[in-house]
Structure 1
Amino acid sequence: MMDNRTGKGLSFVKRIYIPRIIGLGIGLISVAAAVAPLSLPLWAWVLLLFNGLLWPHVAYQWALRAPLPYQAEQRNLVLDSLMGGFWTAAMHFNPLPTVTVLSMMTMNNVAAGGRRMVLRGAAAQVAGMLLASLMLGTGLQLNTSQLQVYACLPMLTLYPLALGWVCFRLAIKLAEHKRRLSALTLTDSLTGLLNHGAWKDLLLLRFQACQQQQQAAVIALIDIDHFKTINDTFGHVVGDCVLRQLSEELKRNLREGDQAGRYGGDEFCVILPGTREDQACQAMERLRERVGNYRNPQLPHLRISLSIGLSAFQPQLQSPEHWLEQADQALYSAKRRGRDQVNFAAGEVTTLRLAYPD
């Protein structure tokens, strides 16, 4: 019920409102022109005016206030079809107005609910025809006058435009939702950086580009020193703030083409394309100093330092994993040497990561 009240249900009701106003308003012209020669009773004219002018607003408010707006709007669509069938029989099945009304109703049902809604709408149309035949009598008018042709033109032109515009807006909204969902699947929720899998995919692409085009690139692995101690001393809320602080510094200090991610836990990763070793060292030293200078007035004893391992692309590297392994070894070499420093990988590394305490 909550989803219907706050999401899909209400948006569906609002999406139908304007097309219903336009469709029934211009449909009123077509039906009025078709039934004018048939001498309908006064109550039928009152019903026609209500259906064309007031019903869109009544239906909107009815669905808006319903416990389940989505289901209420589907009921309204069935009633639309019922009245469509009613007026086709009332006009004695005059060919052009009949086809115009029924096709527009069917188009609306397709857009609103697919095959199921089309079937329900068709059944309602038949019921409406039978109801009109019982109340107004039966008849068959196969001649369409020139006035009736002109009366149908607004329905044949304006309503498809209105419905198409609504579908276009919906497609734009769905594309935006899809884009946001795609971004969420690639992004770490805490830091806003690329998540582990997304960054590894980019590393593979960068590795292939370096191999094929002989491009320079450096990767960096960044570890927050003694992060477990920070969590144990100040709490996980502060720990999360530290992670976000580092991610913000990365966003501020890296170039547009650099690609930063959260590798896992307190470890971050960066791809620096088109970068020499000395440039990468300077960039990471600046990052280390900025993070090291961070002070929180509410936590004066909190200190943050970084250990950073760097590895430049080399043609003899066998795989992205091998490249990453070199940066990993450089990082743990920095940790062995006392932490709070930047260390560059030196030479070919074939050993696996060792387990060092945080």
Structure 2
Amino acid sequence: MHRITVIGGGFAGLTAAITAAEAGAQVTVHEAHHTLGGRARTADGPYRTNEGPHALYNGGPHWSWLRQRGLIGPLAPIPPLEGARLRLRHRGALRRTPPLAMLRLLRRGAGRAPVDTDFLTWATAVAGEEGARAAAHYSAVALFHHDPGSLSAAFVQERLRRATKLPPEAHYPRGGWGGLIDRMAARAWDLGVRMETLSRVDTLPTDTPVIVATSLDAARRLLGDPALTWPSGRTVLVDLAVRTRRGDAFIVSDLDAPGWLERFTAQDRTLAPAGEQLIQGQIPISPHASKADGVARAEQLLDAGFAGWRERVTWRRTAVANGRTGAVDLPGTSWRDRPAVDRGDGVYLAGDQVASPGVLSEVSFNSALTAASLALGRPAPLDLERA
């Protein structure tokens, strides 16, 4: 019987643990925090916030995997976008529809964007500079990067199309992502997985295959491998509760600069006390910008979409996520160029900056499934090229 050690009890770690345990392995999960979940934790208390806005896309293989095991659970219904007040800030004013030039980039005739050209250059040739910049800024909802136009055109195009697809691919587990994590932990427990919290690992075990399902920074320190690096984003996270008022926007997307606000209680009233609304947002900032710069931009979006919000605030929290928002691919690179899952000597990586395809949490899932299969000595159950 295989024995496998998983370091990290977030979405990737639990996926790997469940996959290995279903194959008959004895699995131990070590989580340094006192609770499981990693960045997918949902806060306790009256305001059920995640670490930044979270959505579960249904276009990847993880959706089928979770559904087959009954792990998705109840979903909060997405309100109709028109009735829910989707607003786009363009040229300093709110509008209901994107500029026509931006829509040209969403048509099939736009073609497949190249890997080795930056998005702004490619998109400008297709739709003009104004449409290219608006599309790049809109795509920041799935990028968390201050300059999406500078990234690989193929990388940004995939995320832009996924984020604008109708009907929407994004879904929201009712009560926050914590419920999803709880169901995954219960599944792992039923399979006999041993889960140790407050268990920080400083030295890799040598008697079992090891799946390192931590952030890339933590994996680099643990493995002592300076090559474990990859670009990521830097973004200001804003959580805000306000007293309910008719006319508040559901989503405010900034097309003048990267930025996104979302009223999560529009689809899930359980996330805040009665009479209050929970707004979560992310404002990408450059490596040299301050937190205050991002907060100021968030407040500009709040002024545009949530009239009188300052007088209605009941709770507020801000933070900076640096290198914790997934991989971004520069021109000339793709997911295949990121740090490999197989590190040799029975060590495997899983996480959102590893060499696996997908959008947002899909990268963690795909890499975790691959890592578990390799640790078991089995062929990968997932065709990454098609995933």
Structure with more of its chain in strand, by fraction? 2
Structure with the bigger RCO (C-alpha within 8 Å, sep 6+) is: 2
TM-score by length of 2: 0.20
TM-score by length of 1: 0.22
Which is greater in Rg? 1
Structure with more of its chain in helix, by fraction? 1
